[in-house]
A and B are shown apart, each in its own frame.
Chain A
Amino acid sequence: SQTIHQWPATLVQPVGSPLSLECTVEGTSNPNLYWYRQAAGRGLQLLFYSVGIGQISSEVPQNLSASRPQDRQFILSSKKLLLSDSGFYLCAWTDEGFHTGELFFGEGSRLTVL
């Protein structure tokens, strides 16, 4: 069966510090991978998606970046965090063609920037 894990679950970071969130998927190959951010009372905002190794599409301009060094690994990074980067970050995957009609989410990472 397929599983998705992301970490860390919770982190508190000062403004200007770097960030690295990691996500891995097991039990499938060639997944589409996504990073979402959810602010309180807001819908899910797509940050990045990837259809393959080294292929990253960015949906919104920001000081965040993403990388996919391996087929089932997706990393969200920042060199210098802003207060506005606080939120609930979710990694997700779906199969190559979205055939199942379902997006599978990791456990989420709650980031607080002080």
Chain B
Amino acid sequence: GQNIDQPTEMTATEGAIVQINCTYQTSGFNGLFWYQQHAGEAPTFLSYNVLDGLEEKGRFSSFLSRSKGYSYLLLKELQMKDSASYLCAVLDSNYQLIWGAGTKLIIKP
């Protein structure tokens, strides 16, 4: 079966750095996505990785290792507005998105 694993919840301090991990086992691989979802709202796109390595976009970076079936989302200089759920999703060989359950990130002052 296809599976995406990520921690259920994480807590971090304002101004700090946090890394959210995602491991996957899917039928084929055509890319990995990270989305941010604030409570009661729709998900919004953060990043897309299809090749190994680190993609940096401002305070957010996403890393992919296809051989390990592993990705992480790195958030730097945390702000209170970063409190949200972070969803990992993999595009499989049929170009269908397989979603993780999301990681709820709580930022404390």
Nearest CB in chain A to that of B104: its residue: A41
Say yes or no: A43-B42 contact (C-beta < 8 A), given A101-B33, A102-B48: no
| A105 close to B (CB within 8 Å) | yes
Q: How far is the CA of A103 from the CA of B8 in the complex (A)?
A: 23
Q: Report the tally of A-B residue pairs with Cβ distances under 8 A.
A: 44
Q: How far is the CA of A110 from the CA of B41 in the complex (A)?
A: 10
Q: Which residues of chain B have C-beta atoms less than 8 A from A46's C-beta?
A: 96-97
What string of 1s and 0s marks CB contacts (under 8 Å) between B41-74 and chain A?
1111100101000000000000000000000000
Q: What is the CB-to-nearest-CB distance from B52 to chain A, in angstroms, rounded to a whole number?
A: 16
Q: Number of A interface residues, CB 8 Å?
A: 17
Q: How far is the CA of A103 from the CA of B42 in the complex (A)?
A: 11
- The main secondary structure of chain B at its interface with chain A is loop
Q: Which residues of chain B have C-beta atoms less than 8 A from A103's C-beta?
A: 33, 43, 45, 97
Q: How far is the CA of A103 from the CA of B31 in the complex (A)?
A: 13
Given contacts A41-B101, A101-B31, A108-B42, could you give 6 more A-B pairs where the C-beta distance is less than 8 Å? Answer: A43-B87, A46-B97, A90-B43, A102-B33, A105-B42, A108-B40
Interfacial residues, chain A to chain B (CB-CB below 8 A): 41-46, 90, 98, 101-108, 110
Interfacial residues, chain B to chain A (CB-CB below 8 A): 4, 8, 31, 33, 40-45, 48, 50, 87, 89, 91, 95-97, 99-102
What 7 A-B pairs have minimum CB-CB distances, sorted nearest first? Answer: A105-B42, A43-B99, A101-B48, A44-B99, A43-B101, A102-B45, A108-B42
